[in-house]
Structure 1
Amino acid sequence: MVYPGAEVPVRAGLRTTDVEEARAFCRKLYYAPLRIEPVGDPGRFDFSADVVELGPITVGEVGYGTDIRVLCDGLETSYHVLAPLTGMLRSRHRGTVVFADPTRAVVYRPTGDIELDWPGNCRLLSVKIERGALERELDAALDQRVVSPMPLGASFDLVDGPGRTWLALVRLLLSELRGTDGLASQPRMAARWRDMVVSGLALTVEHPYGEEPAGLQGPMRPRTVKRVLDVLHTEPWRQYTAAELAAIAGVGVRVLQDAFRQHVGMSPMAYLRRLRLDGVHAELSRSDPGTASVSEIAYRWGFTHLGRFAGAYRSRFGVSPSATLRDPS
């Protein structure tokens, strides 16, 4: 059995002069509503991409060869960073225009439409991080309540400070994942590297909270709550009881429930259900409908009653699990 967290990298690459083929590739790997329109010399269209999916993150190096315009409706499911390696990209998102180049990355929150003017000489690193993964990382690792979507800044520096380190980490990860015999080829090692990319972005991007990490608010959580959160995030598929979680925390059931409601905003079991649902949603979104099974994925994440699971899934995401598997957009 392969447990969530031990991810196997999946590589996808394409080089083509066919616009429709490039569109289909990007819609499958990134967002179905994505629209790509050449505005430069169509004869110079030369799309090339080398992309690796690793659980909740998708990292790729992408270029088009000619000037293009990219339009995308609200991302909803993911945070996204574009970091040019060459050239300059003009981005408009949520009313803010950013010019990204090798000195500055552009950041997208999962809300609001996106418009890109992407010149032919611009080749960039594209980093997509599933919304739940970034928010859960802060939620668990930093002992803080986060707002959703997190109010991340529109861009960050790639030359100095943490942005330079984060970009170097992403480039090294992509290079390692392209190979077959590096450390990143080991699933557990790759998962740790993936987590560094996710948490590193949260601590790199600009935000309006002074020295506080982006999007954080609320008091530090007590140790009893942190112990239970650590366990739930480590093994979300296990069948816990309220009494077992209370024993892990070292307090009574009622005390733990009250502490969770105060510091997490819901009961331990409600938090576990949300964690599992987000995990199932992420896995369904990146699975092949020809080979994956909703029931198998649900069972792997700890859901034993498929009827109740389907109802809870629809309540959280507005669609059925099978609809997500067929159309992950």
Structure 2
Amino acid sequence: MNTRTDRFNDVHLHATSVHGWGQTYSQLSAGAAQCALSQFSTARIHAFREHINQRVVQQGEAPRGQICFAVPLAVTGAARVQGRAADDKCIFVLQGGDEFMFHMPMHMDMLSITFERDAFERAMSGAPWPSGIDALLRQPVVQVPGHRLAESRKRLLALFNAVIAAPEEVFTPEAEQQVEQAMLGELMRLISDPACDRTQRHGSSSRSFIVEKCHRITVSDAANAPSVEELCKRLKVSRRTVQNSFQSVTETNPVNYIRSVRLNGVRRELMATCASELSIGDAAAKWGFFHLSHFASEYQELFMELPSQTRRATRVNLARQTATA
């Protein structure tokens, strides 16, 4: 049993600290980031609870060979998971290898549990689950009965907190297996509840599709940031449609969103390199910022620090990262 609890003042450090996940977090709302991450792992599951005070877009790929569940503990604003509207009355499901994009509101609090796929399928094959479960698990957002979700959320969180608080009590393979089975059983009871509609089909919204396409266009050619007019032409939609899409999905306008994604890109560049290897100006230029005074002001407004105050990598840390890669 491996357990760990961390606090960060940067969403990038938070994202890279989630064991086994290849993902990028970009901070969208202005202010100092405050992130909390607790996690534990056994041979067959990885569970983690994350809380971030800022609005964040998460992008990456779910761990291959796994099936991943997320139970929101608090959703305080507009949230989109794989283009679907999400709230605190649903759970999220990702299949291993799935690319994902989550738009999470400020102060999002979430408990995620990732199961080794083969072990999960063996557990399913040994129980008489109702028809439709397989199709339901292919939906990224699953609406579940509110009272059942509240009960399951309480039990799952209590179990998670107990392991984090006293990992020494889960020191044998038998004890680990009990934890695994308890978490798996709780989730399966939740989605097999007779009140759970196993025919639900919630498609991705056109507004989410527009935001995701704009995001991918922005990061695919970072040095040449597209204007809103250029995005409208490429997507063949009106400016009002783009504006409304971003406001609905991200709670900001497209100019602010695109600039924030690019500023996050610069920040990751700075944190991943030594000052002697990459200058602030060169890092900014890689993401399309060529007026350094404007760039520094926008960077400070978003992250509450100047680019020169961002902690850079050291040669020792880079050597360690290379050795463990």
Name the TM-score, length of structure 1 as normaliser. 0.51
Choose which of 114, 139, 149 in structure 2 pairs with 1:128: 114
Q: Which has the higher contact order (CA 8 A, sep 6+)?
A: 2
Residue 143 of structure 2 aligns with which residue?
156
Contact persistence 1:108–1:154 (CA under 8 A): no
Within 5 A, what are the aligned runs for 1:13-92? 13-26=5-18, 29-32=19-22, 34-41=23-30, 43-73=31-61, 75-86=63-74, 87-88=76-77, 90-92=79-81
Gaps of 5+ in 2: 199-323
Deviation at 1:62, TM superposition (A): 0.5
Give SS of 2:146's match: coil
Deviation at 1:114, TM superposition (A): 1.5
Contact persistence 1:78–1:110 (CA under 8 A): yes
Contact persistence 2:62–2:98 (CA under 8 A): yes
Gaps of 5+ in 1: 1-8, 213-325
Deviations along 1:5-56, one digit per CA (max 9) or x if unpaired, are xxxx210221111344223202xx1412x11111111x42112111111332
Deviation at 1:182, TM superposition (A): 7.7
Deviation at 1:133, TM superposition (A): 2.1
Deviation at 1:141, TM superposition (A): 4.0
Q: Distance in 1 between matches of 2:167 and 2:95?
A: 35
Q: Distance in 2 between matches of 1:84 and 1:64?
A: 13
Q: Distance in 2 between matches of 1:196 and 1:126?
A: 15
Residue 198 of structure 1 aligns with which residue?
184
Contact persistence 1:50–1:62 (CA under 8 A): yes
Q: Distance in 2 between matches of 1:135 and 1:99?
A: 26
Deviation at 1:186, TM superposition (A): 5.0
Q: Distance in 1 between matches of 2:103 and 2:67?
A: 19
Percent of residue pairs identical: 11
Q: Distance in 1 between matches of 2:52 and 2:11?
A: 10
Within 5 A, what are the aligned runs for 1:174-193? 174-180=160-166, 184=170, 187-193=173-179
How many residue pairs end up in the alignment?
A: 200
Deviation at 1:206, TM superposition (A): 6.4
Q: Residues 116 and 150 from structure 1, CA distance in 2 versus in 1: closer, same or farther, beyond 3 angstroms?
A: closer
Q: Distance in 2 between matches of 1:105 and 1:150?
A: 10
Task: Name the aligned partner's letter for residue 132 of structure 1.
Answer: D
Q: Distance in 2 between matches of 1:170 and 1:115?
A: 25
Q: Distance in 1 between matches of 2:46 and 2:171?
A: 16
Q: Distance in 1 between matches of 2:167 and 2:2?
A: 14
Q: Residues 112 and 21 from structure 1, CA distance in 2 versus in 1: closer, same or farther, beyond 3 angstroms?
A: closer
Give SS of 1:201's match: helix
